[in-house]
Chains A and B, each alone.
Chain A
Amino acid sequence: MDFYYSLAQIIGFHTLLGLSAYIVLQTGQVTLAQAGFFAIGAYVAGMLTVLAGWHLVPAMIVAGLAAAIMACLVGFPALRVRGLMLVIATLAFGEAVRLFFFNFDYQIAKGDVKIGPLGGEGFRQIRWFPENGWTSFEIMLFVWAVVALVAGALWWIDRSRFGAVLRAVGEDELAAQSVGINLTAVKVTAMTIGGFIAGLGGSIYAHYTTHIEHANFNVLLATFAIAYPILGGLRSVFGTIVAVIFVQGFLVEGLRFMGDWRNLLFGALIVAAMNLRPHGLIDAATARRLARLFGREQRRA
C-alpha cells in the first residue's frame, strides 16, 4: 500500500509544479523557469526545517514566498521579451539556479555530522517527516490538502475577472492594452503566483525525497512543468491534475513492467494524446460538462 501512497505524493508535487506553469501559460508566456523556482522552494524549505529546526508548514510558506520574490524579480526583465526569446531567457534562468545550487555550500555541525547543502553532493537528511513520526498515509493526505488548496485557489481565479484578464492577455496583447490592461503588471503577477506555487511544490518534494541535488532540477523537469498543463488543457486546473496522473501514474509507474521499452512508448503516448485531444485532455467542452456535473447553474446574462 505504501507504494500507492508514495505514488500519490509524487503526483501531488508534480501537480503543484504543473499548476505553477498553468497560470503563467494562461497569459500566453511559455516559461522554462518553473524548475528553478521549484529548486529554490526545495532548498529553502529544507534548510529551514533541517538547519533552523522549523516546523514544515511555516518553512513551506517562507519557501513559497522566496520563490515568489525570485519569480517577480525575474518576471520584470524576462517578460519584456516574447515567444522564443522568453523560452530561452527562462531556460537560462532555470539553469542558472541549478548551477547556483551546484556551487552552494552551507553546512553546520550537528553532533558529529555536518548537515546542509554541499554543492554537487547535494543536500541530504531532509528528514522532517520521519523525525516527526508521519506515516506515508498522513504525508499523502497532507500533500493533497496542499494541492487541493492551490487548485481551488486557481479554479477560483479562473472564474474571476482576473482569470479572464489572464486569458485575454494570452489571446491578444494589443487588444488587451487597448482595453486598459497593463500587460507587465498582469504577466509579472502571474509569474509571481506561479513562483509561489512552484516553491510550495519544491518544498514538498525535498521532504518527500529527503535528498535533493542540483541535477534533480534540470531542463527535463522544466519541460514537464509546462507539458502537464499543455497536455491537460489550459481551460481548467483539472486538466493539469489529470495530465499528471496520466504521465506519472500511468506512463511512468503503470508501464514499468515494460522495462526500457517504456521510454519509447512514453513519448509515443504523449504524441498520441496530443493528437487525439488537440486542446488538451480536459478541453473547453469537457470543462463545461464537468462544471455542469458539479451542479453549477449556467449563468445567463
Chain B
Amino acid sequence: MLEVRGLAKHFGGVRAVDGIDFAIRPGEIFGLIGPNGSGKSTTVNLVCGLYEPTAGQILFEGQDIARVPTHKRLALGLARTFQNIRLFANLTVWENLWMAENAPAHQAGTSFLKRWVGGRSDARERITRALEFSGLAHRADDLAGSLAFGEQRRLELARALAAKPKLLLLDEPAAGMNAGEIAQLDERIRALQGQGYTILLIEHHMELVMAVTDRVCVLNFGRKIAEGTPAEVQADPAVREAYLGTA
C-alpha cells in the first residue's frame, strides 16, 4: 500500500531521516516507533507532504507521491491526525466534518458547484453518521475549540475518516491520554482495522504499540534499526539498547 524507499530528509547538516525503507501491506496496522528525535515526525511529515524529501521515494499504491502537494494526497487516499490536535477551533464540530466533502469518496454524483457552495443538507446524512460514530452528535453545533480534550481527539479522527482514506496516519494519538482512554483508543484502532482501514501508527506509548500493531519499524537517529512483529522487535538487542532496556 505504502512503500518508502531510501527516504532521506536533511535540514542543513542535520540528517533527521537518513535513508529509511519500509512497506505497509494493505489492511495491517503498522507501527513506527523510536526514541525522541529519532525521525518519526519527520517521516510522517514527508509521507503527508509537508516536507519534500532530500532523497528517496514514497510509493503509494505504486505511484511516487514524494512531490505531490499535500492537499492532493487526501484525494489519493491518505489522511492523518496530528500529534498536537489541529482542529478548526472557531468552526463548529459540524463544519469541521464538512471539510472532507472534496474527497473522491464523496465526489461521485455531486456536481462541482454543489460540493463547493452547496448547503448543509447535501452532506447532512454523511456527517450525521460520522457524528454518531464518534459520539459527538450532541455537540454538533458547538465550536470545536470548546470541546474537551478527548472529544477533540475523537473529532480529529472523525475528520480524517470523513475522507474515507485508504491509509490513515495516526500521529501519537495516545499523547495526553490516561490509561482508561488509551484502552478505549486501542479498541477504536482495532475497530478501524476491522472496517478495512490500513493504519500507520506513530506512537510513544509502547504498550499500545505492542498490543495493537501487526508489524513495527523502529527508528533511531534517522535510521531504521529493526523491523518485525512486536515480539521480534522487543527481543532485538539493538532496540533494547536504543531504549536503554525499557522496551
Binds B, one of A80-88, A129-137, A144-152, A180-188: A180-188
| Residues of chain B within 8 A of A183, CB atoms compared | 71
A110 within 8 A of B: no
Secondary structure at the B interface, as helix, strand, loop or mixed, is helix
What 1/0 mask marks residues of chain A from 280 to 301 whose CB sits below 8 Å from any chain B CB? 0000100000000000001111
B22 within 8 A of A: no
A69 within 8 A of B: no
Query: Is there an interface contact between A165 and B137, defined as CB atoms closer than 8 Å?
Result: no
Query: Is there an interface contact between B75 and A299, defined as CB atoms closer than 8 Å?
Result: no
A164 within 8 A of B: yes
Name the interface residues of B111-139: CB closer than 8 Å to any CB of A. Answer: 115-120, 123-124, 127-128, 131, 137
Name the interface residues of A118-172: CB closer than 8 Å to any CB of B. Answer: 156-157, 159-162, 164-165, 167-168, 171-172
Query: Is there an interface contact between A168 and B74, defined as CB atoms closer than 8 Å?
Result: no
Name the interface residues of A160-209: CB closer than 8 Å to any CB of B. Answer: 160-162, 164-165, 167-168, 171-172, 174-183
Name the interface residues of B155-185: CB closer than 8 Å to any CB of A. Answer: 159-160, 163
Q: Which of A159, A161, A168, A299 contacts B88 (CB 8 A)?
A: A168
In the complex, A171→B86 CA distance in Å?
10
| Residues of chain A within 8 A of B223, CB atoms compared | none
| Residues of chain A within 8 A of B131, CB atoms compared | 301
What 1/0 mask marks residues of chain A from 62 to 94 whose CB sits below 8 Å from any chain B CB? 000000000000000000000000000000000
Q: Which of A156, A162, A179, A301 contacts B159 (CB 8 A)?
A: A179
Query: Is there an interface contact between B102 and A181, defined as CB atoms closer than 8 Å?
Result: yes
Query: Is there an interface contact between B163 and A179, defined as CB atoms closer than 8 Å?
Result: yes
Secondary structure at the A interface, as helix, strand, loop or mixed, is helix
Binds A, one of B23-31, B92-100, B228-236, B239-247: B92-100
Q: Which of A157, A162, A171, A182 contacts B91 (CB 8 A)?
A: A171
Question: Most B CB atoms within 10 A — which of A161, A162, A299?
Answer: A161
B50 within 8 A of A: yes
| Residues of chain B within 8 A of A284, CB atoms compared | 90, 143
Query: Is there an interface contact between A171 and B89, defined as CB atoms closer than 8 Å?
Result: yes
B17 within 8 A of A: no
Q: Contacts A164-B95, A179-B74, A180-B163 given: A171-B116 contact, CB under 8 Å? A: no
In the complex, A165→B95 CA distance in Å?
9
B80 within 8 A of A: yes
Taking the closest CB of chain B, its distance from the CB of A134, in whole angstroms, is 34
Query: Is there an interface contact between A168 and B91, defined as CB atoms closer than 8 Å?
Result: yes
Query: Is there an interface contact between A161 and B115, defined as CB atoms closer than 8 Å?
Result: yes
B221 within 8 A of A: no
Q: Contacts A164-B99, A171-B91, A175-B87 given: A180-B74 contact, CB under 8 Å? A: yes
Query: Is there an interface contact between B91 and A178, defined as CB atoms closer than 8 Å?
Result: no
Query: Is there an interface contact between B82 and A180, defined as CB atoms closer than 8 Å?
Result: no
Q: Which residue of B lies closest to A177 (CB)?
A: B70
User: Other than the known A160-B116, A161-B116, A175-B86, what 4 A-B pairs have Cβ atoms closer than 8 Å?
Assistant: A160-B119, A299-B94, A300-B141, A301-B124
